[in-house]
Structure 1
Amino acid sequence: MNKKFLILLSMLLNFLTFGEVKKNYDCNFLTDFTFNEENNKYIDLYTGKTNMKIKEGITECKVLTGGPFRIINRSFFWKQNDHHYFDNAVISLEIKNGRMIRLEVKSAFNNELLFSGKYNYSGLNGEVYMDGSVQNSGYSMRLNYKNGKPAGELTEYYDNNKIYRKSMLRNVQIDLSHFSEEFEKYVNSYEIYDYNTGEKIFSENLKNGNGRIISYTPSGKQDKDYEIKNRKIIGGKEVAHSPDGKSDSEYYYHKNGNVKKYIQHGSSGARTEYDYDLNGKMLKATYYNKSGEIDDVIDYTKKKR
């Protein structure tokens, strides 16, 4: 056999041997962590940093409880107490030169993707996916990070995997714990889509802020149907859904954006309706029993009885 060919073959085999990423299956470091102040072990979903010693290469683990994974509240990833545990999950992470460069988590039940992200020295870098069970809003999301900061478009998804909302982000650091309340601070424009059909039903450039919004919860219940003008609600209805579906709250609006009527449903079937004037002052409270009959009316325009 040609000597030159043998040398080339040997070089190729060496390259394949030493260039192959080592795979590890030692999952003890990921399971059954006891979180306490003295032993705060974590993997940071946002920065990719960890205070644990993890082997070089790719580690693949099927775990009952993997964590804690810290979720920093100054980023898009926010969770009460700043920690999240992936239960019944398949976790794959890659360590290179002592730091994490990739993390992927899937459900052990149905292989559904729960988290996917890549990292550089600044943190997340590239496309990131976060399941709704992990982050605060309840909607799954996909967005791009550049050197640790969200950039470009954010896409959120309903439970049926149809698009809920697309938002074009401003170039600012995002705190998801205030994202809903300070939406305009982080977003230039956005679009909302119908839960069932996927049809675009609302789009807004926040510089004008006029139109009608119809939107749904992640599970498909309609929660908003109102008109806005100059970014203020001027009419329509909003429903806050309760977990049992029997104690929802309804809000109706005056043209000036103040609440016109608030209805609180009780789990027994009873309800209370509160009426307000244009300035937000309560006019009366009407109490209905579970049969729909009026039990009592308090008129706040008169002296209390």
Structure 2
Amino acid sequence: MKYLIILSLAGVPVLYDRLRKRPRIRRKWSVRPDTGLIRRFGKLVCRYDALNGLKTRLAGKLSVINSGSYRENEAVALWVMLAAAAAGVMSALVFFNLFAMWYTALLLSVLAGYTVLYVFDAWLNIRLAAVRKKLPAALQLFIDSYMSHKNIKAAINESYRRMDPAIGAVFERMARQLSGSHDYRRPIREFAESLDYVWAYAFSELLLTSYEGAGDISEELLFLNELMNDDLKNEEETKTELSTNRMLFIVITASTALAFILNIMFNPIAGDLYFYTPAGNVIVFVWVVVIVLGISVMTVMERI
């Protein structure tokens, strides 16, 4: 049991790296949003702004990578949050009986719940990154149509059919909302927020500027597309360097975990030291904190 706990903690960065390489398939998730448990949990989440914001953010990301309704995606987000809470509670029952120091048990319990959210959010970000990479090509198709029509709605309706389905679905959703409502601000802002990408926000601002009286934005769109392509080239070079650092961190983390487990297996005193003494708990505490900080730094660096 001890070995499984340590190995699972060390496996977080490895799992994150594996998720980055999985094939990306757009699909519809069938989840019943009217389940009694989810309804009650949803009401509880709505009472707290931070939890409600997390639910909205996860549901928004899900709406980009699958064709489910917002209510279905909201239900998926609630299920994930519920699973994270359950993981934290179940882990607390184990860790508070396993470790002598309460703060080490508390940290690991919180980390267990957070790991569920982190892995799910990391998977969503990986899928979103694949969609974002298609934005320059999609924007070029929109610009070609806009040059002919000089009309935003007509350009979106014509161009999204020729886009890659992953990014085309996002443009299609915006086109349908623009056609069915006089409020142009909300669909355009939801488009940018769903992609959560700086160039999507810049594109949305240009669309809003045109709607609010600027008129033709052809030159601005061409300039935006040029800036975006240059930025993506620089981003690829930076990611190559970060990949080396990420792999090094994963190797070091896995090596320390293996050494930790082997030490416990072949030295019975080590198990009692690490799990049942304050000094051993502090060592485990510091080791876990270093892993969490390392993962956090990697995540922040990849998003800059």
Q: TM-score, normalised by structure 2?
A: 0.20
Higher strand share: 1
Larger radius of gyration: 1
Q: Which gives a bigger RCO, structure 1 or 2 (Cα 8 Å, sep 6+)? A: 2
Q: TM-score, normalised by structure 1?
A: 0.20
